[in-house]
Amino acid sequence: MQGFELAYDYFDPEAELLREALTSTGNGYFCTRGTAEWEDPGPSHYPGTYAHGGYNRETTIFDGRPVLNEDLVNLPNWLVLKLRIEDGPAVGFDEIDLLDYKHVYDIRLAMVRREMRFLDRAGRETTLRSRRFVSMAHSHQAGIEWTIVPENWSGRVEIVTALDGRMTNHIVARYRELEGRHLDPVSPRTFGPETIALEVQTRQSHLYIAEAARTRVFPDGDRRPADVERSLHQMQDYIQQILAFDVEQGRPVRVEKMVSLFTSHDNAITEPLAAAGRHVLRYPDFAEALAEHEAAWTELWDGCDVRLPREERAQLLLRLHIAHVLQVCSRHTARHDAGVPARGLNGEAYRGHVFWDELYVYPFLNLRLPEITRALLLYRYRRLTEARAAAAEAGYQGAMFPWQSGSDGTEETQSVHLNPLSGKWDPDLSRNQRHVNAAIFYNVWRYYQATADLEFLRDYGAELMLEIARFWASIAHYNPRRERYEIHGVMGPDEFHEKYPGAPEPGLRNNAYTNAMVAWITATIPQVLDLLPAGRAAWLRDRLNVTDEELRLWEDMSRRMYIPFHDGVISQFEGYADLEELDWDHYRTKYGNIQRMDRILKAEGEDPNRYKVSKQADAVMLFFLFGDDELRELFERLGYGYDADLARRTIDYYDRRTSHGSTLSFVTYAGVLAPLDPQSAWERFMVALESDVGDVQGGTTKEGIHMGVMSGTLDLLQRGFLGTDVTGDVLRLNPRLLDRLEGAAFSMRFRGTSLRVHLEDGELKVLAQAEGFRGPLRVGVGDDVRTLGPGETCVFPLPAQAAPVRR
Ligand code: BGC
């Protein structure tokens, strides 16, 4: 990987699926894996195209039991482009000898390129260069360009260009026993001589998806397309054209396939097939479309790039992560009813569901493209009715959002999950992670803090927050013996602990993270109500019937939630202290990688619930989400001590008992260690940065990138190392690891004003852009808080930092 490129210089069938995921191209509306255009689905190739909201439900009869699942559907494959030389077979990796090969993800343009020189079975040497993008300028547009050079031969070639609706969902091995067919054919069509189109529909959700492709051939240097022989073949769920023409030795020929994709969720169309056809006919040729795409990305980089000149590797990976985050969540996303699928739009792991991971995604967006966060939060707001129904059904009040969310906001978490180590289906109790509700509340508040978008709070946010607070009040109960409120039957983020060992009922008592979040939520509600115009607050309270008594109860909860402690640390949940210690050395020696300790233990007939072993940060999340001052206030309000060392002790305790079975955990630990042990934080930050490119979990990334980790690393740089924090109306910066950050430059947007932040020679410079300035703008380092006018720069001297960085 160099510069702005993730590049592979040899073909490796074993690694190809991973590379496809990492070289996906998308625009926040749809995303397509980096599969070679000429390859059909097979053990090393998996063409996958996904669009936000493209879900479908299917039932599998499993051991006689119906199992219902909702999946983000693999849409028709628009990539298909094959080369046949004379009467030879279509060129594919199995049919040729590669002389040169390069597979590149151009990070700056989110474009995938392949360049290869090969010998075919007849000894002909050919160069084929492919470039493709999914347009950031026009959300429905994508383009492929091939350049073919016959190096030592002349003759006739055929290009097969197709749209293939016969796709199924089957990249995730664990799900293969479950139904993977989601598409039904509707119809193929042509729009004039150059354009093929295909419409399909999802089998249950009746989403129509249409694609159209215009394929042209351009002889060397010619801007006008050549007149080539075309033949058509169409089936209900597949359509192809074959373009036949002569090529001459040494003379490059270009093939362009411009594609449009629409679904029946789109605005401003009559129906997808007509829209796809109309649009593709108007698309410019590849070069012009690419220029528009490039201009759109240039603008995005202007607001989102981070520069870290001293740290080459981190720099590159951060940019890779920025590109991937924006491929999944862009301004185009904001125009749709879209949430943040935990694994992006480039694989099928977790079925494209939306979890609490958005918590890790928004901090980066909030301070750059907050309009995207706003739209993604609306995904939750639109599902409030369903969340209310879920709460009522479970005997609670308010809104209970699902652990896994898809199309309509009902609970999508499976009830059984396949353990690939044992081959057995284990019950899946993870839906008891009610903390997702706390995350949604937190996300709304942090969005508001970054933007001061009172309209959002007034029209949507406050209602979400009130209903979530109400849910927590109803799931909590008062324990008169302790004189505290308790929550039973839930799980924290650590998915290894689903219940007490041997207990028949699921869930745990008093997960500290959950209870502390509830204390914070109930303490925050009055601030939310105070912010609203008085009339609106009264109207909302009236409409939701929020009584004075309820407000008093919440106030009381904010002072009396129960938090368990043991040995001077926060207990992950009540009774954690009684669990057995795990023989970590034994398992490390036996298995090497013990990240998925739950699967190892279960395969050995053991129950992870028995042990002090966490999959990921749980109690420690508190130190990740809140600053020291906020936590001190929270704990003191609860009447618990908050000594200066509580964070250090608690983090250290769980660090030794966490297997990091979710890569989110690396992000969290890096974040909490940043103020305590910046060097160790940096090391973990690097692990998180490398986790997807290096596929540290051995096979998960090919099923989709980890959105939370990719954006979490960007948040780490911003919050952990640059020390960005919003308190009141002040944007505070408190940089650490100055020698690693030397020369660092960032763009940010705080409450409407664009900022440039630059760290150099022991000084931090902040420039408030004049264009679009919305003041007053207050920025601070430590106690030094300044007010900036449009176009003004302020320079903060940074205190010298004691500990030199170990290299
Ligand atoms: C993690 C969860 C996360 C989910 C989706 C799981 O492995 O434990 O915290 O929400 O993956 O990314």
Peptide bond between residue 193 and the one before it cis (omega within 30 degrees of 0): no
Cα–ligand 1 centroid distance for 631 (angstroms): 25
Closest C-alpha to 108, from 302, 311, 285: 302
Residue 309 located in a structural domain: no
Q: How far is the CA of 206 from the centre of ligand 1 (A)?
A: 29
- Residue 159's beta-bridge partner residues? 83, 243
Q: Which atom of ligand 1 is nearest to the CA of 350?
A: 5
Helix (H) or strand (E) holding 3: none
125-172 per-position pLDDT tens digit: 999 999 999 999 999 999 999 999 999 999 999 999 999 999 999 999
761 shares a domain with 699:
no
CA 598–ligand 1 middle distance (angstroms): 14
Least confident range from 84-98, 406-420, 541-555: namely: 406-420
Report the percentage of the chain scoring pLDDT > 70: 99
**Residue 2: pLDDT over 90:** no
Tell whether 90 and 227 lie within a shared domain. yes
- Residue 698 in any domain: the answer is yes
Protein residue with least CA distance to atom 7, ligand 1: 662
Task: Tell me the per-residue pLDDT of 383-403, one tens digit each, with 9 for 90 and over.
Answer: 999 999 999 999 999 999 999
Q: How far is the CA of 687 from the centre of ligand 1 (A)?
A: 17
Residue 431: DSSP 8-state:
G
Instruction: Looking at the CA of residue 615, tell me the nearest atom of ligand 1.
Output: 8
Q: Are residue 624 and residue 763 in the same domain, yes or no?
A: no
> Does one domain contain both 181 and 247?
yes
Cα dihedral 280, 283, 286, 288, rounded to 10, equals -170
How far is the centre of ligand 1, averaged over its atoms, from the C-alpha of 498 (Å)?
Answer: 14
Residue 605, exposed/middle/buried by CB under 10 A (0-12, 13-18, 19+)? exposed
Cα–ligand 1 centroid distance for 221 (angstroms):
51
**Helix, strand, coil % over all residues of the chain, rounded to 5:** 35, 25, 40
Could you tell me if residue 732 is inside a domain?
A: no
In this prediction, residue 369 carries a pLDDT of: 98
Q: Which residue, 718, 751, 772, sits at the end of a domain? A: 718
Tell me if 311 is assigned to some domain: no
Q: What is the 3-state secondary structure (H, E, C) of 609-626?
A: HHECCECCCCCCHHHHHC
Q: Is the dihedral of CA 569, 571, 577, 583 positive or negative?
A: negative
Compute the half-sphere exposure of residue 93: CA atoms within 13 Å on the CB side of its CA.
21
Residue 314 inside a domain? The answer is: no
pLDDT score at 734:
95
Residues 582-603, mean pLDDT to the nearest whole number: 92
Centroid of chain to Cα 195: 34
End-to-end Cα, the chain, rounded Å: 21
Ligand 1: which of 172, 625, 664, 700 to mutate, judged by most atoms within 8 Å of the beta carbon? Answer: 664
Q: Domain total for the chain? A: 3
Q: Would you say 356 is a known binding-site residue?
A: yes
Portion of the chain with pLDDT greater than 90, in percent: 93
Nearest CA to ligand 1 atom 11: 662
CA 662 to ligand 1 center in whole angstroms: 6
Say whether the peptide bond before residue 776 is cis (omega within 30 degrees of 0).
yes
577 with 649, same domain: the answer is: yes
Give pLDDT, residue 800: 78
- The CATH number of the domain holding residue 113 is 2.70.98.40
Same domain, 35 and 153: yes
Find the residues whose C-beta lies inside 6 A of ligand 1: 342, 350, 355-357, 493, 495, 615-616, 662, 664, 708
CA-proximal residue: ligand 1, atom 9 (nearest): 493
pLDDT at residue 805, as a whole number? 45
Higher pLDDT, 179 or 801: 179
At 657, is the secondary structure helix, strand, or coil?
Answer: coil
| The ligand 1 atom nearest the CA atom of 353 | 5
Residues 460 and 609 in one domain: yes
Distances (CA, A) of 410 to 235, 343, 354, 735: 36, 19, 11, 42
Name the DSSP letter for residue 573. S
Most ligand 1 atoms within 8 A of CB, residue of 353, 355, 435, 669 to mutate: 355
Tell me which of 718, 753, 776 is where a domain ends: 718
Nearest CA to ligand 1 atom 8: 662
Q: In this structure, are residues 463 and 456 in contact, taking their beta carbons and an 8 Å threshold?
A: no
- State whether 714 and 743 are in the same domain: no
pLDDT at 1 over 50: no
How many whole angstroms from 493 Cα to the centroid of ligand 1?
A: 8
C-alpha–C-alpha distance, residues 130 and 731, integer Å: 45
- HSE-CB of 752 using CA atoms within 13 angstroms: 11
Reduced to 3 states, what is the DSSP secondary structure of residue 287?
A: helix
Atom from ligand 1 closest to the CA of residue 707 = 12
Indicate the DSSP class of residue 507.
Answer: B
The Cα–Cα gap between 472 and 306 comes to 39
Residue 357 marked as a ligand binder: yes
CATH of the domain at 778: 2.60.420
Is 730 a domain residue?
no
Cβ pair 129, 114 in contact under 8 A: yes
Q: What's the chain's Rg over C-alpha atoms?
A: 27
Tell me the β-bridge partners of 778: 730, 787
Residue with tokens 């060992």: 501
Quick one: pLDDT at residue 62? 81
Average pLDDT over residues 201-213: 98
- Domain boundary among the residues 246, 270, 302 is at 302
The amino acid that residue 601 corresponds to is L
Pick from 768, 776, 769, 770: nearest CA to 730: 776
Q: Dig out the tokens for 410 from the structure.
A: 């009902």
The Å distance, Cα 659 to ligand 1 centre, comes to: 14
Do 763 and 643 share a structural domain? no
User: What is the atom index within ligand 1 of the atom nearest the CA of 662?
Assistant: 7
Tokens 């508040």 belong to 445
Beta-bridge mates of residue 306: 746
Residues in the chain: 807
**pLDDT beyond 70 at 344:** yes
For 95-131, write each residue's pLDDT tens digit.
999 999 999 999 999 999 999 999 999 999 999 999 9
CA angle 83, 224, 229 (to 5 degrees): 45
Q: Encoding tokens for residue 441? A: 């509340």
Is the pLDDT at 89 greater than 90? The verdict is yes
425 and 350 inside one domain = yes
CATH number of the domain encompassing residue 343: 1.50.10.10
Question: Using one digit for the tens of pLDDT, what is the confidence trace for 748-777?
Answer: 999 999 999 999 999 999 999 999 999 889
How far apart are the CA of 728 and the centre of ligand 1, in A? 31
Instruction: State the residue for tokens 């939520």.
Output: 521
Q: Which two tokens stand for residue 257?
A: 């396939």
Query: Is 90 exceeded by the pLDDT of residue 796?
Result: yes
Compute the average pLDDT of residues 272-276: 98
- For the record, the structure tokens of 458 come out as 């007034």
Please tell me the residue having the least CA distance from ligand 1 atom 1.
662
- Reference 569, options 610, 521, 622; nearest CA is 622
Tokens of 659: 């297997």
Determine contact, residues 765/793, Cβ cutoff 8 Å: yes
Place of tokens 């073949």: 233
Give the pLDDT score at 806.
Answer: 45
Looking at the predicted structure, is the pLDDT value of residue 646 above 60?
A: yes
The answer to whether 766 and 788 have CB atoms below 8 angstroms apart is yes
Give CA–CA dist 181/168, Å, rounded. 5
- In 570-677, alpha helices (H): 584-591, 597-603, 621-625, 628-637, 646-655, 664-673
**Residue 315 falls within a domain, yes or no?**
no
Of 328, 495, 706, best ligand 1 pocket probe by most atoms within 8 Å of the beta carbon: 495
Taking the CA of residue 157 as centre, how many other CA atoms within 13 Å lie in the half-sphere pointing to its CB? Answer: 27
Q: How far apart are CA 765 and CA 745, in angstroms?
A: 9
Which atom of ligand 1 has the smallest separation from the CA of 355?
10
Among protein residues, the one with the nearest Cα to ligand 1's atom 6 is 662
Which of 350, 414, 596, 692 has the most ligand 1 atoms within 8 A of CB, as the residue to mutate?
350
Q: Mark whether 466 and 407 lie in a shared domain.
A: yes
Q: State how far the alpha carbon of 243 is from the alpha carbons of 65, 82, 155, 217, in Å.
A: 49, 10, 14, 8
Give the CA angle between residues 397, 403, 406 to the nearest 5°: 105
Backbone angles phi, psi at 32, to 5 degrees: -130, 135
The rounded Å distance from CA 50 to ligand 1 centre is: 20
Give domain status of residue 26, yes or no: yes
Domain extent at residue 606: 321-718
> Of 386, 411, 495, 574, which is the active-site residue?
495
Q: Provide the token pair at 789.
A: 């006018």
Residue 566 has pLDDT above 70, yes or no: yes
Q: Which residues pair with 427 in a beta bridge?
A: 416
| Predicted confidence band of residue 514 (pLDDT cuts 50, 70, 90) | very high
- pLDDT above 60 for 807: no
Contacts of 727 (CB under 8 A, 6+ apart): none
- Mean pLDDT rounded to a whole number for the chain: 96
How far is Cα 75 from Cα 30, in angstroms, rounded to an integer? 10
Write the pLDDT tens digit of every residue in 597-623.
999 999 999 999 999 999 999 999 999
DSSP string, 123-187: --EEEEEEEEEE-SSSTTEEEEEEEEEESS--EEEEEEEEEE--------GGGTTS----EEEEE
Q: Note if 467 is an active site residue.
A: no
**Residue among 321, 331, 307, 344 nearest 107 (CA):** 321
For residue 493, which atom of ligand 1 is closest to its CA?
9
Inter-residue contact 496 to 597 (CB < 8 Å): yes
Q: Can you tell me the distance from the alpha carbon of 695 to that of 709, in angstroms, rounded to the nearest whole number?
A: 12
Return the ∠ at Cα 636 (arms to 631 and 637), rounded to 5°. 100
Q: Of the residues 353, 357, 359, which should be mutated to test ligand 1's pocket, given the most ligand atoms within 8 Å of the CB?
A: 357
Q: What are phi and psi of 734, to 5 degrees?
A: -145, 75
Residue with CA nearest ligand 1 atom 5: 342
Specify the ligand 1 atom closest to the Cα of 708: 12
**Residue 615, annotated as binding a ligand:** yes
Please state, in angstroms and rounded to a whole number, the distance separating the CA atoms of residues 324 and 714.
12
Rounded to an integer, what distance in angstroms lies between the CA atom of residue 285 and that of residue 223? Answer: 9
Burial annotation 526-554 (CB, 10 A radius, 16+ → b, else e): eebbebbeeebbeebbeeeebeeebbebb
One domain for residues 705 and 577:
yes
